[in-house]
Amino acid sequence: MLKVILNDLTRRYRTILATVLILILINLLVLFKFMSPIYVSSMATKVSGSIISYLLILPLLFIAINSFRKDLFENDGYLMFSIPLRPIKIFTAKFILALSEFYVYSVLTGLFIKDIDDNVLAKNIISALFLTITSHICLVLTAFFALILARILFKRSIFSQGASILVFIVVLLGSQFFVGMIDGFFIGVYAVIQNHGVYNYSSGLSIINQYHNIFSIIYNILFGVFSIGTYILSLYLYGKNLEV
């Protein structure tokens, strides 16, 4: 399994490096005041703040899952499907890599959504990192699932990749709506309500501080179920039904 990760890393290191450098550059520019940070809080409506932060993060998600997408939709997928390794190992390795990548990227972005109160950010960065990982897992899993499903339904036709985006949005919104899994969303809503229309990382963090709240316990259980379910389902589809 490690081999797969290593292999993908050698395949992607240029992309990863470039993305990281660009993100760091933006952070430096913000830090040294060459660029103004994205004051998401300046958005008019209460909810749109969290949506904006999602929009910022989605391109990074796409970058992180690109390797998997290529395996499913382009000729070089043959390589991955021909090697004598159990599908669960290949799939899990790719998932871990995509997750790590995505997480690194989004942590870097968190830094340039500037906070009004820097102290709060610094204190709670550990818990913030720990708790937002759940939403990251969700996003990546959902993306993988969407890619696999679209691949199975539409093979490698022109619209299958577009269809995967559609599936992704549907599953994501669906899961959010029914289970409120993506805690960032609710944190956002919460924070926005609490802070009178201001959404930023620290207000999100103050919600995270209320982690003992029963609301979030339920969310996290349901999140766990959703994640495990998606993982297993994706794995099953990947292993059994993919036609190269």
Task: Give the distance from CA 64 to its chain's centroid.
Answer: 8
Q: Is the dihedral of CA 170, 176, 43, 99 positive or negative?
A: negative
Among 153, 170, 221, 244, binds another protein (CB under 8 A): 244
Among 9, 59, 76, 178, binds another protein (CB under 8 A): 76
Cβ atoms of 205 and 121 closer than 8 Å:
yes
Give the nearer residue to another protein in terms of CB position, either 196 or 240.
240
Q: Which stretch binds another protein (CB under 8 A): 2-10, 122-130, 211-219, 228-236?
A: 2-10
CA pair distance 238, 244, nearest whole angstrom: 11
Q: Which stretch binds another protein (CB under 8 A): 77-85, 190-198, 203-211, 226-234?
A: 77-85
Q: Tell me if 18 contacts another protein by CB under 8 A.
A: no
Instruction: Give every CB contact of residue 150 below 8 A, 6+ residues apart in sequence.
Output: 160, 161, 163, 164, 166, 167
Among 54, 81, 211, 215, binds another protein (CB under 8 A): 81
Q: Tell me if 78 contacts another protein by CB under 8 A.
A: yes
Q: Which stretch binds another protein (CB under 8 A): 72-80, 131-139, 145-153, 207-215?
A: 72-80
CA pair distance 101, 19, nearest whole angstrom: 10
Among 1, 7, 165, 179, binds another protein (CB under 8 A): 7
Among 84, 158, 212, 214, binds another protein (CB under 8 A): 84
Q: Tell me if 83 contacts another protein by CB under 8 A.
A: yes
Q: Tell me if 85 contacts another protein by CB under 8 A.
A: yes
Among 17, 79, 170, 228, binds another protein (CB under 8 A): 79
Nearest to 91 by CA among 145, 131, 155: 145
Q: What is the DSSP annotation of 173-190?
A: HHHHHHH---HHHHHHHH
CA pair distance 164, 179, nearest whole angstrom: 22
Backbone Cα Rg of the chain:
19
* Interaction site with another protein (CB under 8 A): 3, 6-7, 10-11, 75-79, 81-86, 240-241, 243-244
